[in-house]
A and B are shown apart, each in its own frame.
Chain A
Amino acid sequence: MQMLKYVLKRVGYSIVTLFVLVALTFFLQRMLPGDPFIGDKALPQATMDALNAKYGLDKSVGEQFLIYLGNCLHGDLGLSLQTNRPVATIIADSFVVSFDLGIRAIIFAFVLGVLLGTVAAIKRGKATDTICMFIALVGVSVPSFIVASILQYFLGLQLTQTLKGAGMGAMFAATGWDSWNSKILPVLALGFGSLAQISRLTRTSMLDVLGQDYIKTAKAKGLSQPAIIWKHALRNAITPVVTVLGPIAAAVLTGAFVVENIFSIPGLGRYFVQSIQTMDYTMISGTTIFYGAFLIAANLVVDLVYGVIDPRVKLEEG
């Protein structure tokens, strides 16, 4: 009951946030100089008028906004000014790919990051710790487009060609998102930064937990070190890590624009960037709203999961 109330309250906040987001993007893009229909060659005035009338751009901005809002409420994000396809369909088609990439990257980052951080904490001060934390430092400092380019060049191109020369099949594909071997490098590139962040956080939090009295209690029960880590330390150490999963989802999402571009992955990021360049109003608004809603939902899920992991967290005051 309390849970339901909490969720409803959060959904309420989310709607307000989304409204502000819609309004801001809508009016900001109209303030940009230029016109969606100005292409390489000038169109006759009559054609321009017809296009403007078709997409409702001949009405006043305020009127357009109200119409857009009304359509949004019906789930209609309009037609793309460039391709004339419904924005919702484009998003639905391409987001499947982006989501696939993103979720793989987050899982990769979370599992390996927690592992790396835990190992580093257990081997604190030893060579293993130094190696783990060096990897993490590199991950935090090097932006994803550099990681992506390096992976693509050395693994996707050089290594694969060497292997091909030796008569073996391709290990990594340098571009695309169809076969399994094309999915490895983008996931690595996209997840690496988050992995680094998660492993550093896990290490700190794990060290803190390992110094707690209840770890001593567990040891006094006769449990072995691995059992103590697995049954008692991990769950407590992971709580702060889960809190950053929201921001990490955002980082992965924005990182995906770049990584998708480098690996020619037909994801949503491409449309998001292109739409701004081509002043595709409906596309800009559509993708922004979608990303906004997605992030808000991701953060809500993280907060709910938090309460499941740590029973002391009572979800009352949002």
Chain B
Amino acid sequence: MAKDTKKVVLDVNDLHVSFDTYAGEVKAVRGVTFTLHEGEVLAIVGESGCGKSVTAQTVMKLNPMPPARIPQGEVHLGEHDIVKASEKEMQTLRGKEVSMIFQDPMTCLNPTKPVGKQIVEAIRHHRKLSTAEAKAEAIKYLKMVNIPNAEERAKQYPHEFSGGMRQRAMIAMALSCNPKVLIADEPTTALDVTIQAQIMDLLAEIKEETDTAIILITHDLGVVAGMADRVAVMYAGKIVETGSVEDIFYRNAHPYTQALLKSLPSVDADKTERLVSIAGTPPDLLNPPHGCGFAARCKRCMKICQEEQPPEFTVGEGHVASCWLLHPDCPSPEERGEKDVD
């Protein structure tokens, strides 16, 4: 299954997103580039506030504009130019070409409408079906996401559903118009662990059965390992490293990726061992640093890191990282007199 033969469904090129606030311009996303192929699962990982959700919501233009704006960059969804698209055009794309499931299923469904009706609404908005046909479709999708007694359940209100079932219903709604891209914005963060696994299994099933491409946004690397084809690590509004799951977990090249992986609790770790954390805080995106965003927290920071943004360096096939350490002229750790970086 060579990636090149698959159609590109989403192409994001040098995307910048800013929010105009009273304090000034917050540069939440500062040049993000990625492509997504049919049927592919791309995971975007990073800590809170790194711009991963903003990136995803910009693909759907869900961020209210103003205060958000796109000063630079391109987003192509199939043949549609998202940056230039009018609100009216977006209304025909949202839900049909690209749909989204959110973090908290408890608050994402309208409490005053039966679940089935909310799915029917999405179907009827994009597909020319009668109410009865749309109802049948909604039940079909509820069954697909493994909701028992779908016919009965469709008539119930969200408060009669458990958290996991609500997220399933959200997924059913998101899939109901066969979108080319499904954005899952931390789909399991608000759920407890056993339910998390069920939802991830469901997403993996969808990946197998449909050719919908999935963008999986998460800060949980464990979730990523299970189902992503490719991983993009974001930090301070930029993608710092992209590669396959193996690249990111075993051949990672960026100090941030390394630090992130080290902060994962491990099953075989000594129980008395303290969890490793990354010292410091992410940079203030009101005044983003000139150099590498991670420089201030990086243990291997050099002079150039603070002065100039690192370009992308190819580490392996389909594996790129933005770090000055990868520059061919960069002296080796011994030459820099670097001691134990851990």
**Using a CB–CB distance below 8 Å, which chain A residues touch chain B?**
212-214, 216-224, 231-232, 235-236, 309-312
Contacts and interface: CB of A to CB of B under 8 A. Distances in A.
Given A217-B170, A221-B122, A231-B121, A312 B110 contact: no
A235 B170 CA distance: 21
B99 A232 contact: no
B157 to A, nearest CB: 5
A222 B126 contact: yes
Contacts of B96: 222
Given A213-B107, A217-B108, A222-B125, 8 more contacts: A213-B104, A217-B109, A219-B62, A221-B95, A221-B99, A221-B121, A222-B90, A311-B112
Contact of A223 (B60, B107, B112, B125): B125
Contact of B111 (A219, A223, A224, A312): A312
Nearest to B125: A222
A311 B174 CA distance: 24
Contacts of A309: 112
Contact of A236 (B90, B91, B112, B173): B112
Contacts of A214: 107-111
B157 A236 contact: no
Nearest to B183: A220
A214, A222, A236 — most chain B CB neighbours (10 Å): A222
Contact of B62 (A216, A236, A311): A216
A218 B102 CA distance: 12
Nearest to B109: A214
Nearest to B170: A217
A222 B91 contact: yes
B62, B88, B112, B122 — most chain A CB neighbours (10 Å): B112
A218 B60 contact: no
Interface in B85-132: 88, 90-96, 99-100, 102, 104, 107-113, 118, 121-122, 125-126
Contacts of B100: 220
B99 A310 contact: no
B297 interface: no
15 contacts: A214-B107, A214-B110, A216-B102, A216-B108, A217-B102, A217-B109, A217-B118, A220-B94, A220-B174, A222-B96, A223-B91, A224-B88, A231-B121, A236-B111, A311-B159
Contacts of B109: 214, 217
B121 A213 contact: no
Contact of B95 (A212, A222, A231, A236): A222
A113 to B, nearest CB: 20
Nearest to B94: A222
Contacts of B159: 311-312
A221 B138 CA distance: 14
Interface residues of B, number: 31
Contacts of A222: 90-96, 122, 125-126
A218 B108 CA distance: 9
A218 B110 contact: yes
Contacts, number: 69
Contact of B125 (A217, A221, A312): A221
Nearest to A216: B62
B112 A310 contact: yes
Contacts of B157: 311-312
Given A213-B102, A216-B102, A221 B110 contact: no
Nearest to A220: B100
Contact of A235 (B90, B94, B112): B112
Nearest to A218: B110
Interface string B70-97: 0000000000000000001011111110
Contacts of B95: 220-222
A216 B99 CA distance: 11
Nearest to B106: A213
Q: For the complex of A and B, list the 4 residue pairs with the smallest distance between their C-beta atoms, beginning with the closest.
A: A222-B95, A222-B94, A213-B107, A221-B95
A212, A214, A217, A219 — most chain B CB neighbours (10 Å): A217
B95 to A, nearest CB: 4
Contacts of B111: 214, 236, 310-312
Contacts of B91: 222-224
A316 to B, nearest CB: 15
A190 to B, nearest CB: 31
A305 to B, nearest CB: 13
Contacts of A310: 111-112
Interface string B139-176: 00000000000000000010100000000001001100
B43 to A, nearest CB: 20
Contacts of A223: 91, 121, 125
A217 B176 CA distance: 14
A313 B126 CA distance: 33
Nearest to A239: B112
Interface string B179-223: 000000000000000000000000000000000000000000000
A185 to B, nearest CB: 37
A236 B159 CA distance: 14
B54 to A, nearest CB: 13
A212 B96 CA distance: 22
A111 B102 CA distance: 34
B91 to A, nearest CB: 5
B62 to A, nearest CB: 6
Contacts of B122: 221-222
A236 B111 CA distance: 8
Contacts of B112: 235-236, 309-311
A217 B113 CA distance: 13
A223 B122 CA distance: 8
